[in-house]
Amino acid sequence: MERPARARTWYGGADVDHRPVMTLQETPMLKTIAIAAALAAAVPAVAQTVEIDEVFSSATTVEYTAQVAGTYPARNEVLVKNANGNQFALPVAAGTDLSVWRTNEVLNVVITQGAVTEISPSSVATPEASFSVLTEDVPGAPEDSVVRSVTASVPAASITVTETTVTFIGPDGMERTAPIAAGVTVEEISGEFVTVTYYDAVDISRQ
């Protein structure tokens, strides 16, 4: 598999410059997360042993509208803001003409949630996220969507784990439920923040 390009972003807030990591501390969502983190409890840790062909076999979707807050043509990314006050970067298909996308333009965003491949103790005590865009087709992903592998640091208290699924707050501030990838093992860990690694597919359309 071809190694994907690496991109980093932060979720929540209003800082829209071109730094690799955007420090966006003052949104209501982040304040809520900070409170929830104080209640953190032990959650299962999932080790990554998955097949890429299976990550969308039990996918769910999250849909919402968002507004354009900025564009990064060199990285094929658009910075968006949604109704909960979050600002975050999303990938667009290579070759997309972002020069015609206007600030505050309304977008339709559909996230197809793939499998969680790992849950582990977080090395940071803040809610941040990074992603890698896959350059090859992935079975089960919607046509024309951009598939990415996402690693997000989230409060342990915001995660609910069952035998087959993980429910957590995504980088967009929206709750999502993802299947645990087949073939993983589970062990107990604890801590205020947990790193969740998963696949999703992003489809953005202009209204």
Question: At 3, is the pLDDT very low, low, confident or very high (cuts 50, 70, 90)?
Answer: very low
Closest by CA to 200, choosing from 148, 155, 164, is 148
Give residue 63's domain range.
5-206
pLDDT, mean of residues 193-197:
90
pLDDT of residue 151: 94
Closest by CA to 71, choosing from 95, 100, 43, is 100
Residue 114: which region, alpha, beta or left (left: phi > 0; alpha: psi -120 to 50)? Answer: beta
pLDDT of residue 125: 82
Q: What is the pLDDT of residues 34-91, one digit of tens each?
A: 323 333 344 555 444 567 888 999 999 999 999 999 999 999 999 999 998 889 999 9
Spatial contact of 2 and 146, defined as CB atoms under 8 Å apart: no
Q: What is the pLDDT of residues 156-180, one digit of tens each?
A: 888 888 888 999 988 898 999 999 9
Phi and psi angles of residue 52, each rounded to the nearest 5 degrees, phi first? -60, -30
Q: Note the pTM of the prediction, 2 decimals.
A: 0.76
Cβ partners under 8 Å of residue 198, min gap 6 = 113, 114, 115, 116, 117, 149, 150, 152, 166, 178
Q: State the distance between the two ends of the chain, measured CA to CA, in whole angstroms.
A: 35
Q: How many structural domains compose the chain?
A: 1
